A = this chain, B = another copy of it.
Amino acid sequence: MPSCAAQAASRPQSGFTTFRFPCKKWISLVNVMTTVQYYPESVLSQQVKTLLLQAGAQEKDAEATTCALLHASRIGVDSHGVRLIGHYLRLLGTGGINPRPSTTFKRTGPATGQLNADGGLAHPAAYRAMNEAILLAREAGIGAVGVHHSSHFGAAGAYVLEAARQGMIGLIMSNSDATVSLFGGAKPFHGTNPIAMAAPVKNSDPWLMDIATSSIPFNRVKLYRSLGLPLPVGVAADSSGLSTQDAMAASFLQPLGGEGFGFKGAALAGLVTVLAGALTGAELDPVMTGTDEEQNFLKRQNVGHFAIAIDPEKFIGSVAYDLAMRKYLDLLRNSPSADGQHPVMAPGDREWQEARRRAVNGIPVDAETRRILGL
């Protein structure tokens, strides 16, 4: 089971929050769209878990989903944090997510396995897959687990951190229903198809990458609409498939790399579809049940994930690996920045900074989520 110890305890306070925009700009927005209030992680954790149990989830599943949502809230990825609780509660209520799945894991080789998530919450399935991959890697040096009949697993980084906590490099990816065009495509084809990797760093926070293969999530389009701002170039298209900066006209996303190099983002999205979809037996992104269908017609998604764990001991060895990671991060963090003001960062550095801030200040929660959580 994941390590979910609450990290913060401070009293709620109203205030402001920050949103990360492209181009390294952080724009402080006082009470953007809603008034946020700050809560300690333990309070949110308890409320989220209680509501999941009330919605019919099993104890260990509620715990894993709570863990994953709080991971995202803890490090500042609010789009995938406790804000999503309403979504999961709705799906548990309609049967779009199976509250009592018979999850089965089958070991298929010395280093491989397949997990059937039986339409349940994706978070326990993804934690389980990563933990089985870790067990396989302890024996075989590398382990891989495919997951099918799963659902939306939130922030991919939550699962790979489990590997890093256990001294392993962890990789996970998930396909999803179509929201992102092909390079030059006229309609959505791939999901946002995230790829996450965590690499352990001795006596320090792990190196943590967690990226979608689109430039932005669709939530960002909605935010730009609310703010009346133009979108960055090459991140979204109108309904005919033409790239647009008009947030109101944006109909779907375009792959990472934009107008010039979106073939690379589309290839990465495809890599995820091949490994997490075609290889595992999950549905393929372009024909996957959409979230609306799922909610309205009780039709479950068959999302796929693919988890890999790698034991550094079986390559250059853990001692040499630890030294190399230390050297790499020291070189990186001491590398000069172009503007001389914003230091360069390793993947995860911004998130660990935010986690330290939130451990003191609490986690911001918007009004609608507070209503759902009964806070």
Contact = CB atoms under 8 A, between A and B. Distances in A.
Interface stretch (A75-83, A91-99, A118-126, A185-193): A185-193
A144 interface: yes
13 contacts: A110-B111, A184-B338, A184-B344, A185-B338, A186-B340, A216-B261, A240-B338, A256-B257, A267-B347, A273-B328, A281-B316, A284-B324, A286-B332
A23 to B, nearest CB: 5
A278 interface: yes
Interface string A316-351: 100011001101100110011111101011110000
Given A110-B140, A114-B315, A267-B347, 5 more contacts: A24-B183, A189-B344, A199-B274, A207-B270, A287-B331
A198 to B, nearest CB: 10
A185 B336 contact: yes
Interface stretch (A40-48, A306-314, A354-362): A306-314
Main secondary structure on A side of the interface with B:
mixed
Interface residues of A, number: 90
A108 interface: yes
Nearest to A278: B324
Contacts of A345: 183
Interface of A: 22-24, 108-112, 114, 139-144, 146, 148, 169, 181-187, 189, 197, 199, 207, 209, 211, 215-216, 232-233, 235, 237, 240-242, 256-261, 263-264, 266-268, 270-271, 273-275, 277-281, 284, 286-287, 308, 310-312, 314-316, 320-321, 324-325, 327-328, 331-332, 335-340, 342, 344-347
A335 B187 contact: yes
Given A209-B267, A271-B209, A325-B274, A215 B257 contact: yes
A256 B264 CA distance: 8
A124 B340 CA distance: 43
Nearest to A343: B184
Contacts of A332: 182, 189, 270, 286
Given A114-B315, A284-B328, A339 B274 contact: no
